[in-house]
């Protein structure tokens, strides 16, 4: 059952005290590799944060790794990747050694064009490059590349418009928006019918908590995960998001 905003905020904090996972899921500290679960038309989407911008998403058809970095051991205990998504080339999103270790014989990659140019020949053979506004399909999952970029003058050097991707995935009747590294851009505010959104907030590379909350309050996903937020305050973001969206606090920084 969905939680109210007050429940969400309280449980995101209470989870670290080790309260019952049966009572509090998906907002408490998890057992190893335990996933948040969201029902789909014929099964469920599972979300397992790994660290920062990296997570594992299981679906009725495929297991998806988003921006996997940190070495192969960080993914031990999770199903092998059927699909790996890479949003852009920065080292906290693309790590060639980790990628090569995780990509099995049948793994597919979907990347932006800049990353495609950096891949080894072996990985290029597994990869499809799509840029902003382009689409592809892997298995039964439709994937749309959406813009992710900076708009503030002194941040333009980090993520120039047109280079990097966010992704919208249509999975068994649900829509998942992975924003990538971006500020509060019109293309984010224009998203429609998003069930699960992953939204970054860390300066100077993306945006602050207020910008992120303002954008989320505009497009109103059912659930929003603050991620890629090292040095920021996800509780402040949660307090500022308008009614209609539940903010899910994941263990993105286990060392903290």
User: Could you tell me the residue ranges of all domains in the chain?
Assistant: 5-25+35-243
Residue-wise pLDDT for 204-226, tens only, equals 999 999 999 999 999 999 999 99
What are residue 178's DSSP bridge partners? 167, 198
How many CB atoms sit inside 10 A of residue 97's CB?
10
Which of 92, 103, 141 shows the shortest CA–CA distance to 125? 103
- Residue pLDDT, tens place only, 133-191: 999 999 999 999 999 999 999 999 999 999 999 999 999 999 999 999 999 999 999 99
**Which backbone phi and psi does 101 adopt, to 5 degrees?**
-70, -30
Class of domain 5-25+35-243: alpha beta
Task: Give the integer Cα–Cα distance in Å for 103 and 125.
Answer: 11
Report which of 160, 173, 191 is spatially closest to residue 88, judged by C-alpha positions: 160
């Amino acid at each position: 059952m969905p939680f109210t905003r007050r429940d969400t905020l309280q449980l995101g904090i209470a989870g670290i005290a080790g309260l019952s996972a049966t009572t509090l899921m998906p907002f408490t500290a998890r057992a190893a590799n335990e996933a948040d679960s969201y029902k789909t038309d014929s099964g469920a989407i599972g979300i397992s944060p790994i660290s920062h911008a990296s997570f594992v998403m299981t679906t009725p058809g495929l297991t998806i790794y988003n921006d996997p970095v940190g070495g192969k051991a960080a993914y031990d205990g999770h199903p092998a990747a059927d699909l790996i998504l890479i949003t852009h080339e920065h080292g906290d999103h693309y790590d060639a050694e980790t990628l090569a270790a995780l990509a099995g014989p049948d793994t597919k990659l979907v990347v932006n064009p800049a990353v495609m140019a950096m891949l080894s020949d072996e990985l290029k053979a597994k990869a499809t490059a799509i840029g902003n506004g382009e689409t592809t399909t892997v298995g039964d999952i439709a994937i749309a590349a959406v813009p992710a970029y900076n708009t503030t003058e002194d941040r333009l050097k980090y993520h120039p418009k047109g280079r990097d991707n966010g992704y919208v995935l249509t999975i068994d009747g649900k829509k998942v928006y992975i924003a990538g590294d971006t500020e509060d851009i019109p293309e984010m505010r224009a998203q429609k019918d998003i069930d699960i959104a992953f939204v970054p907030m860390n300066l100077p590379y993306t945006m602050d908590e207020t910008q992120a909350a303002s954008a989320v309050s505009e497009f109103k996903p059912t659930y929003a995960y603050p991620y890629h937020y090292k040095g920021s305050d996800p509780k402040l973001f949660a307090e500022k998001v308008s009614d209609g969206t539940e903010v899910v606090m994941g263990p993105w920084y286990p060392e903290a």
